[in-house]
Structure 1
């Protein structure tokens, strides 16, 4: 089954090809330089400050996931009320409750540990 397929590429002169290669390499190099050159500021001599900053960052990410789950739970409950589907309603309320727990995880842990 050898079918001859026609190549519909437009002809590109050598100077245009070299210019395009130069453009692509320049953009790639600038992207790599800007993306990988991040200034890191030292937190000082106190390692406890570093741990607290990392803890705040991680709990911020967890809070973002919790807010996403909270929004999705609200959407599920709303859709279940519209379609009168009890199983979807229970899933929506469980997602809503999980989102609330995950969103306030840091405060819950602070209350538990004292």
Structure 2
């Protein structure tokens, strides 16, 4: 039982060239990946259990801050696209995403203010 038919014709494949915008996007993406993977801080364990919990808390809030920054950027893009297309519902969603990203980005500071 054959699932795939072999094509009897030999087709040549052509190399697709990468445009200028695609090359810039790939460069920016590679820079972000390098920043998030290579330039991160490690949480070392210590003898004091409170220090270990604080290190873990700092690490988790660092991840939460990164997600908040991504949401902030996405909200700005949504607002820009809604201004271009004159779409009020997309504009409202953009402002809500922007506000949510700001709250998530500054979650640690907000919790510190609440708890004192």
Shorter-chain TM-score bucket reads: 0.5 to 0.7
Root mean square deviation, CA, Å: 2.7
Unaligned runs of 5+ in 2: 8-41
Number of residue pairs aligned between Structure 1 and Structure 2:
81
Please give the alpha-carbon distance, in whole angstroms, between the structure 2 residues aligned to 1:66 and 1:104: 8
Shift of 1:44: 2.7
Q: Provide closer, same or farther for how the CA distance between residues 57 and 91 of structure 1 changes in structure 2, counting only shifts above 3 A.
A: same
Residue 98 of structure 1 aligns to a residue in which SS? helix
Query: 4+ runs of 1 displaced by more than 4 Å?
Result: none
Q: 1:53 maps to which residue?
A: 55
Matching of residue 97 in structure 1 with residue 110 in structure 2: no
Instruction: Please list the CA deviations of residues 19-38 of structure 1 after superposition, one character each: whole Å capped at 9, or x if unmatched.
Output: xxxxxxxxxxxxxxxxxxxx
Shift of 1:103: 0.2
Whether the aligned pair in 1 keeps the contact of 2:43 and 2:55 (CA below 8 Å) is no
Match of 2:67 in 1: 65
User: Could you list the runs of 5+ residues in structure 1 that have no partner in the other structure?
Assistant: 7-39
TM-score between both structures, scaled by the size of structure 1: 0.64
Q: Distance in 1 between matches of 2:102 and 2:65?
A: 9
- CA–CA distance in 2 between the matches of 1:75 and 1:64? 17
- Residue 86, structure 1, aligned to residue 88, structure 2: yes
Query: Residues 76-107 of structure 1, C-alpha deviation per residue, up to 9 Å, x if partnerless?
Result: 00000010000000000000000000000000
**Which structure has greater helix proportion?**
1
| Contact 2:65/2:104 (8 A) holds in 1 | yes
Query: 1:109 maps to which residue?
Result: 111
Q: How far 1:45 sits from its partner (Å)?
A: 1.7
Q: 1:87 to 1:42 in 2, by over 3 A?
A: closer
- Cα shift at 1:43: 2.5
